[in-house]
């Protein structure tokens, strides 16, 4: 990775990155390390955490603390905060990047699948914010960045994550107001379609189809998302709170990524079959 920021910008800073072992989160962790920040990466899969922490530590010559944490479980979040403060003595930044969803038509999402996505992407993000505020930021200030998604025109085929991410955008505004007095700045980054590990969960034609309807005619990179997060954490972002930055190549403004089936009574032909067989309902793991 290369950076436009000064390399010691975050010396003596401490960050937690959820989902920091893979994809966008890994790029954020790497960008922070490059600027001298101490980093804790937190997610559920211990093996991936250990592998990424070891690789990052070797590349940047700093300890990276891997911590196993399911953000759907508040006791595990509290343990994450304790471990961070125990090891580094402070917590300056939280990047709520951990999340997941699956493609399915709204009519077919079962209760368990709906709850899993809401609990991870909305409730988990809120619990992380509240825990970070309670354990350190209420008394010392801090910066929080929530990773959301391009759900501005609705999110057909992923209603659960669209609802959760829109709620996080609103939650972010509320926390920005309530916690301003504590010196806590909180913002969102809304990635469009990004060439990342998360893409493996979708049908193989999704990246190319998405690139066709993005005005910049390509997918975003994990580094471009990481750089946007750095802006909110850096002195350049010191007067910005409650905001959401869309990093989507203009994809939220234009394009018809979702084809609306014709109704049979319009005479325009039969409704095409929903491609549900290609998108099996996969509920995120416990
Ligand atoms: N790639 C895109 O185009 C795109 C676009 C918009 C938004 N996003 C969002 O950006 C974030 C990163 O996505 P990505 O593309 O880098 O995919 P990814 O590699 O699948 O990242 C998701 C990360 O979240 C972690 N995670 C999931 N559930 C968790 C839980 N309950 N507790 C703790 N950690 C959890 C995963 O680790 P474990 O499974 O080990 O827990 C994984 O490291 C996600 O929130 C994603 O929805 C991605």
All structural domains of the chain: 14-278 (3.40.50.720)
Indicate if ligand 1 lies below 6 Å from the C-beta of 252. no
CA 232 to centroid of ligand 1, rounded, Å: 20
Instruction: Report whether 41 contacts 65 (CB < 8 A).
Output: yes
Alpha helices (runs of H) in the chain, residue ranges in sequence order: 23-34, 46-60, 74-88, 111-118, 125-132, 138-140, 159-178, 206-212, 222-233
Indicate if ligand 1 lies below 6 Å from the C-beta of 207. no
User: Considering only CA atoms, which of 262, 158, 246, 162 is closest in space to residue 203?
Assistant: 158
pLDDT values of the chain reduced to their tens digit, one per residue, 286 residues: 788 899 999 999 999 999 999 999 999 999 999 999 999 999 999 999 999 999 999 999 999 999 999 999 999 999 999 999 999 999 999 999 999 999 999 999 999 999 999 999 999 999 999 999 999 999 999 999 999 999 999 999 999 999 999 999 999 999 999 999 999 999 999 999 999 987 877 888 888 888 999 999 999 999 999 999 999 999 999 999 999 999 999 999 998 878 887 776 667 666 666 555 455 556 666 5
Going by alpha carbons, the residue nearest to atom 41 of ligand 1 is: 44
In ligand 1, the atom with minimum distance to the C-alpha of 48 is 40
Q: What is the dihedral of CA 15, 42, 173, 126, to 10 degrees?
A: -140
pLDDT number for residue 273: 60
In ligand 1, the atom with minimum distance to the C-alpha of 191 is 6
Instruction: Report whether 141 contacts 184 (CB < 8 A).
Output: yes
pTM: 0.94
Indicate if ligand 1 lies below 6 Å from the C-beta of 52. no
d(CA 4, CA 227): 9
d(CA 4, CA 245): 18
How many angstroms separate the Cα of 271 from the Cα of each of 81, 266, 268? 51, 10, 9
Indicate if ligand 1 lies below 6 Å from the C-beta of 18. yes
Mutate to test the pocket of ligand 1, among 22, 150, 164, 247 (most ligand atoms within 8 A of CB): 22
d(CA 187, CA 226): 14
Indicate if ligand 1 lies below 6 Å from the C-beta of 194. yes
pLDDT number for residue 247: 98
CA 265 to centroid of ligand 1, rounded, Å: 41
Instruction: Report whether 101 contacts 50 (CB < 8 A).
Output: no
């Amino acid at each position: 990775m290369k950076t436009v920021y000064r390399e010691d910008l975050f010396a003596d800073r401490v960050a937690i990155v959820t989902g920091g072992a893979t994809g966008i989160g890994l790029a954020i962790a790497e960008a922070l390390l490059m600027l001298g920040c101490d980093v804790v990466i937190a997610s559920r899969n211990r093996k991936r955490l250990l592998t990424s922490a070891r690789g990052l530590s070797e590349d940047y010559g700093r300890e990276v603390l891997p911590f196993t944490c399911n953000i759907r479980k508040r006791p595990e979040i509290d343990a994450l905060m304790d471990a961070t403060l125990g090891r580094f003595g402070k917590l300056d930044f939280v990047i709520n990047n951990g999340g997941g969803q699956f493609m399915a038509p709204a009519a077919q999402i079962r209760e368990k699948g709906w709850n899993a996505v809401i609990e991870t992407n909305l409730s988990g993000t809120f619990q992380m914010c509240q825990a970070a505020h309670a354990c350190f930021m209420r008394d010392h200030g801090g910066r929080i960045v929530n990773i959301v998604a391009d759900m501005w025109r609705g999110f057909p085929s992923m209603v659960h994550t669209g609802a959760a991410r829109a709620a996080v955008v609103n939650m972010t505004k509320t926390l920005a107001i309530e916690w301003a007095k504590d010196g806590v700045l909180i913002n969102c980054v809304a990635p469009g379609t990004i060439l990342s590990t998360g893409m493996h969960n979708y049908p193989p034609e999704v990246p190319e189809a998405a690139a066709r309807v993005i005005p910049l005619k390509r997918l975003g990179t994990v580094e471009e998302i990481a750089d946007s997060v750095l802006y909110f954490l850096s002195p350049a972002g010191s007067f910005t709170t409650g905001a959401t930055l869309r990093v989507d190549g203009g994809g939220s403004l234009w394009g018809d990524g979702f084809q609306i089936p014709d109704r049979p009574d319009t005479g325009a032909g039969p409704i095409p079959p929903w491609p549900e067989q290609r998108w099996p309902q996969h509920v995120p793991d416990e």
